[in-house]
Chains A and B, each alone.
Chain A
Amino acid sequence: MISFLTSGFFASMLSFLAIYVALTVILHLQANVAGVVNFGIAGFWGIGMYATSIFLLRFNINFWISIVLGAIVTGLIALPLARILLNLDGQAVLVGTLAFASIVENQIFVNREITGGSRGLGTIPMPIDVGPYRFIVYGLVVVAFVVALILYAWKLKKAPFGRLLFSIRDNELLSRSLGKPTFRHKIIFFAITCGLIGLFGGLTAPLHSFLLPMMVSPTVTFTAWIALMLGGQSKISGAVIGVLATEFVFFYLLRVILPLPAEAAQMVPFFIYAAYGLMLVLVLMFKPTGIMGGKRRGN
C-alpha cells in the first residue's frame, strides 16, 4: 500500500486530478458565479503551461517565479480578450473563447523558435528534488494549491464581491442601475481567474515534463465542463465530485486500478467510453442540476 502511495503513478494521478479539480472550480467561479461562459480553458491553461516552461528553460528563471510570471502573462492576455468579448451575449462569449483556445494551440504550433512547435519543449524537471519521493511531494504541493483555491472560492461566494457577481450573472442591467460598474468587474474577475488557470497550467508543466502543442487541445476544456455539469454547477463540491466521478472513475479506476482480466484489455476502452456517455445521459436526465446540484432557481 505504502509503495503504491509513493509510486510515480499515484503521484501523477493525484496531481492531474487535483489540476482538473482546480480548473473545474475556476470554471465554476467564471460560469456559475460571474456568468461568463468560458470555453477557452485549454487556451489559458496552455498559455500558463508554455509560458512557465519558456521562462524556466529559455531564460533560466526559477520554477516558482516562472509559474507566477506565467500566470501574470495569462491574465494580461485574458484582459483585452475580456474587453472585446464580455459585453456580448453568452453564446458569443462561448464561441469567442473557444476560438481563442484554437488560436493559442495554433500559435504554439507555429512559433517553433519559442515553443518548440511540433518537436516539443522540454525537459521540465520536477522542481522539488527530494530523490525518489519528488513526485509525491510535488503532488502534495499541487493539492495544497488546489485546497487554497477552494478556500478562496468558498470564501468569495460569501463575500460582498460574490454577492455582486451573483447579481451580475442574474441581471446585469439591474445591477448597473444599482450603481455597480459591472463591466469593469467582469473584465477584472475574468482576467484574474484566467491568470489562475494559467497558474495551474504552469503547475502542470513538470507533470508532462515534455510539452507538445496537441496537449493544448479542447479536451481539457471539455473535461472541466463535463465534470462541472455532472457534479453540479452551483456548488464547489460539485466541481470536486464531478472530477472524481468522471476522470477518476473512468480513466483511472476502471482502466488502470481495477484488476480486469488481461484478455478483456482491448475491449475495456470501448466499454469505458460507452459507460461514460451513458452516465452523462442518465445524470442529465434524472438530475439535470448535477450530482451535488440543488433546486433550480429562476429562469
Chain B
Amino acid sequence: MSACNTCKDTEKTGVLHIKKAVKRFGGKTVVNVEDIRIGTHCIEGLIGPNGAGKSTLINLMTQKLSLTEGEIIYYRGDEAINVSSKNLNTLAKLNLVRSNQIIQDFASLTIVDSMILANTDLRHEKFYKLFNDKEVREAAQEKIDFYLDYFHFDFPEGHALSAGEKKLLDIIRCLILNPKFLLLDEPTAGLPQDQSDKVIDLLQKKTAEEDMCVLIVEHNLDLIWRVCDYIHFMADGQILIQGTPDEIKGNETVNKKYIGEESNA
C-alpha cells in the first residue's frame, strides 16, 4: 500500500461527498446511495457485480447523467461545488476527470494530436485564432514526450489502431488534464499486462507526489487488492460495505454477493 502525503487533507472530508443520491430510469432505481465520502484515500476502488450501478454512479459524479434526487458535492481546495450545478465539460476543467469504460477515440486525430487537444487551453480555441498552433504544440511538447517515452507507441504520428492503444490514449488524455480527482472505469480492460502495470505504477507515483486521488472501477480483483487503499463495495445500486482490502476480502456479504458468485460461475 502506498504511503500518501498529499491526500491527507482529504482524509476526513473526502473529495466527493455523495448525499442521498438516487438515479432512476423510468421506475427502476439504479443507484441509491445514502451518504458516503469518496477520495479519503489516494487510490480507492469501486467493486461490485455486473449491474450494480458502478458505471452509473461514475456517470452521476461527472454529470454525464444527472441525479434524480440528492446531491453530490465536489471539494476542490476550499471550494465546495455541487456537481449538479455544473456539466461534464466544466467539471473536467475543474479537474474532475473520468476515463471511459467502452473504448472511445477521435477517429480523425493522431495520437499526438489527441494529446495536444487535451492539453490545449480553451482560450486558444477560437474561430479567429489561426496562427497559434505552434504555440499550442510547444506547450504540450513536454507532456507528449513524457507519455510517448513512458508508454511506447509504435507510430505516435499515426492513429491509435488497436483497442489497447485507444484505451491507453484515453487514460493519457485524462492524465494530461491534471486531474485532482480521476475516475477510471475499468482502466486495465483490454490493455496488455505490461502496459497495465505501467499505468498502475504511474498512478501510484502521481497520487503519492501530486495533488491527485483516484477511484478505480475494476473487475480485476487482484489489481484492486494490490493497488487500492480503500474499497467501496456496491451491489443493487447501494454502497453496502466500505473498508480496506483486507476487510473487504474477508467480508461475508462481499463473498456471497460477488466473489463467491464469480467462482461459482
Contact = CB atoms under 8 A, between A and B. Distances in A.
A166 B126 contact: no
Contact of B109 (A158, A167, A181, A182): A167
Interface string B96-115: 01101000111111000100
B132 A170 contact: no
B107 A298 contact: yes
A171 interface: yes
Contacts of B117: 163-164, 167, 175, 178
B29 interface: no
B43 to A, nearest CB: 21
Interface string A145-163: 0000000100110111101
Contacts of B131: 155, 159
B62 interface: yes
Interface stretch (A39-47, A184-192, A221-229, A236-244): A184-192
* Chain A facing B: main interface SS: helix
A176 interface: yes
A175 B107 CA distance: 12
B129 A160 contact: yes
Interface residues of A, number: 31
Given A170-B108, A171-B106, A298-B108, A177 B64 contact: yes
Contacts of B125: 160-161, 164, 180, 185
Interface size class of B (residues with CB under 8 A): 35 or more
B187 to A, nearest CB: 15
A185 B124 CA distance: 13
Contacts of A152: 130
Interface string B114-139: 00111010101111011111001000
B109 A166 contact: yes
B212 interface: no
Contacts of B126: 161
Given A159-B130, A160-B132, A177 B113 contact: no
Contacts of B64: 173, 177
A180 B90 CA distance: 8
Given A163-B117, A297-B159, A170 B109 contact: yes
A178 B122 contact: no
A178 B169 CA distance: 12
A132 interface: no
A80 to B, nearest CB: 19
A166 B116 CA distance: 13
Given A169-B108, A171-B106, A179-B92, 12 more contacts: A155-B130, A155-B131, A159-B132, A160-B125, A171-B105, A177-B64, A178-B92, A180-B122, A189-B127, A297-B107, A297-B159, A298-B108
Interface of A: 152, 155-156, 158-161, 163-164, 166-167, 169-171, 173-182, 185, 188-189, 192, 297-299
A-B interface, 3 closest residue pairs, ranked by CB to CB distance from nearest: A298-B107, A179-B92, A170-B106
10 contacts: A155-B130, A156-B127, A159-B129, A160-B120, A170-B109, A174-B100, A177-B62, A180-B125, A185-B125, A192-B127
